[in-house]
Chain A
Amino acid sequence: QVLLVQSGAEMKQPGASVKVSCKASGYAFVSYGVSWVRQAPGQGLQWLGWISGFNANTNYAQKFQGRVVMTADRSTNTLFMELRSLTSDDTAVYYCARDGVGIAAAGKPDYWGQGTLVSVSS
């Protein structure tokens, strides 16, 4: 079955960076992409960006441009999302979700990881 297993909770200080991993299994890695979505405590869902598992092309939300980097390791079927210059506003659960392989097919995340809580506090 399709599984996306994310790394564990992180506690960071303001100004630091965090790197969340998402290991994919149960499907052809290169035939799909992955979107990253976050949810602040008690809040709604916010899309950070998308990466292709085929060629590692990315599309980042303008709000996070320059602060987020998404990468893919085809040898281990693992995706990574690094967010830099953290502030308390970045405290949220971060989700990876399987999505379309190209940006034209993206935006329909059908299987989600369990989420990774990132807490930012001094």
Chain B
Amino acid sequence: DIQMTQSPSSLSASVGDRVTITCRASRSVHTSLNWFQQKPGKAPTLLIYDVSTLHGGVPSRFSGSGSGTEFTLTINSLQPEDFASYYCQQRYNTPFTFGQGTKLEI
């Protein structure tokens, strides 16, 4: 299985800040990398697929980059509703695997 490792595991920031979350794969997943947001008690929602394509309705302050084994999710100008957990996920090989998550706190 491809292991996905996110850093940091948790992150404190303020409204208006720019934050970056890193995701590393144990081997290349090429550009088959997605990002999800999850708020407490809710289902995850798709933010970005295939490294950098925003899912419909996702604000442009979210962006993704990378390829191969290293990827980043950047959130510009944090808004109050962005404080949540974020997960990367590879879909290059089954089983599809997720990172352990990054909790973004105020």
Contacts and interface: CB of A to CB of B under 8 A. Distances in A.
A59 B43 CA distance: 22
B interface residue count range (under 10 / 10 to 19 / 20 to 34 / 35 or more): 20 to 34
B43 A35 contact: no
B59 to A, nearest CB: 17
A112 B87 contact: no
Interface residues of A, number: 24
Nearest to A98: B46
B90 to A, nearest CB: 8
Nearest to A93: B43
Contacts of A61: 94-95
B98 A46 contact: yes
A21 B17 CA distance: 41
A37 B100 CA distance: 14
B43 A95 contact: yes
Interface string A45-82: 11101100000000101110000000000000000000
B35 to A, nearest CB: 11
Most buried by B among A107, A112, A115: A107
B94 A109 contact: no
Contacts of B50: 108
A52 to B, nearest CB: 13
Contact of B46 (A110, A114, A115): A110
30 contacts: A44-B99, A44-B100, A45-B36, A45-B44, A45-B87, A45-B101, A46-B98, A47-B94, A47-B98, A50-B94, A59-B94, A61-B94, A61-B95, A62-B1, A63-B95, A97-B43, A97-B44, A106-B91, A106-B96, A107-B32, A107-B92, A107-B94, A108-B34, A108-B46, A109-B46, A110-B46, A112-B45, A113-B43, A114-B43, A115-B43
Interface of B: 1, 32, 34, 36, 43-46, 49-50, 55, 87, 89-92, 94-101
Nearest first, the 7 A-B pairs at minimum CB distance are A107-B91, A61-B95, A112-B43, A45-B98, A47-B96, A107-B96, A44-B100
